Amino acid sequence: MAKINFGGTVEEVVTREEFPMEKALELLKNETIAIIGYGVQGPAQALNLRDNGFNVIVGQRKGSKTWDKAVSHGWIPSETLFDINEAANRGTIIQFLLSDAGQIAAWPTLKPFLTTGKTLYFSHGFGITFKEQTGIVPPADVDVILAAPKGSGTSVRRLFLQGKGINASYAVFQDATGKATDKAIALGIGVGAGYLFETDFKKEVYSDLTGERGTLMGAIAGIFEAQYEVLRSKGHTPSEAFNETVEELTQSLMPLVAENGMDWMYANCSTTAQRGALDWKKKFKAATLPVFKELYESVASGAEAKRTIDTCSKPDYREKLAEELKEVRESELWQAGAAVRALRPEKNKVEASMIN
């Protein structure tokens, strides 16, 4: 493993140089990787593994939209595409990539196929960490591992096709064969990780749920709405309010942060922007730090897991979700966003269509 200095803290990570694709392929040459679930992470990981030369099959419910989606991606019924039971039976590594609620529902069906020596793979620590609520308790004679790309399935596939990679964590919950760690790393490399850092199932799910509810999705959406509303209430047009709230951040500033860091982005902005950002950063941190502490405690207590299971397991969940998303989509903020995106240069529109 490579030792990297992260701002004074030395951490061991695994890079492609230390664990090249050839090593991963050799390690897993006798394995059949069964992808169970073809919704969010499933397609990206399955396609990346297939393109990298691994032996991959997909398990999905026949007649479903996701079955048809898999067929459209080149998976062949009765050859590389099977119903869930058949795929789980054939697979020696079972990648359990259904949603958290879907995993709970499918677990009684899947568990009998976890025979001695097989490997159960997750990309999220939810089911194992909150086993009291999910009922997901693997047999003692199988490896239980995790490789979690730090991005959506769309990003995992897009960056792979661009010849890049997305960072991922890996973890071992149960090592029955003595090879669990190597399998986790090999699969992480196989699905396209740029580098892998070690964690455990609990830390993965705690950080993941905090991030999704925080800066990755929940917090950023709330901040967008707050600033947009203030600007509109003070007489700014929708175009001006949206561009100053969202467009400049996503199209101009965040790419600079991704390339060289926040300090570099600050250094390449006007002195007026620098001074204001550095001063107000402290105020925003002071205002949000208590919220993040409350959020983390809600995750650690299991309250967020309970909320997720209770709501996402209801038969009308997708209909209610669609209503909530419609409310977001039809708000003036995101209607302005749709109009602004339509006015972007043609090259940007083409790139966006490739991602979607």
Q: How far is 170 from 187, CA to CA, in rounded Å?
A: 9
**pTM score of the predicted model:** 0.90
Mean pLDDT across the chain: 93
Q: pLDDT tens digits for 170-226?
A: 999 999 999 999 999 999 999 999 899 999 999 999 999 999 999 999 999 999 999
Neighbouring C-beta atoms of residue 214, cutoff 10 Å: 19
pLDDT, average across residues 237-249: 96
Task: Indicate the burial class of 145 (C-beta count within 10 angstroms; 0-12, 13-18, 19 or more).
Answer: buried
Q: Which of 50, 118, 124, 158 is catalytic?
A: 124
Reply yes or no on whether 124 is catalytic. Answer: yes
The percent of residues in the chain predicted with pLDDT above 70, rounded, is: 97
Q: pLDDT tens digits for 57-116?
A: 999 999 899 999 999 999 999 999 999 999 999 999 999 999 998 999 999 999 999 999
Name 145's bridge partners.
121, 172
**Inter-residue contact 146 to 129 (CB < 8 Å):** no
Q: Which residue has the higher pLDDT, 5 or 145?
A: 145
Q: Which residue has the higher pLDDT, 92 or 163?
A: 92
Amino acid identity for residue 81 in this structure: L
Inter-helix orientation angle 41-51/153-161, to 10°: 30
pLDDT range class, residue 353, cuts 50, 70, 90? very low
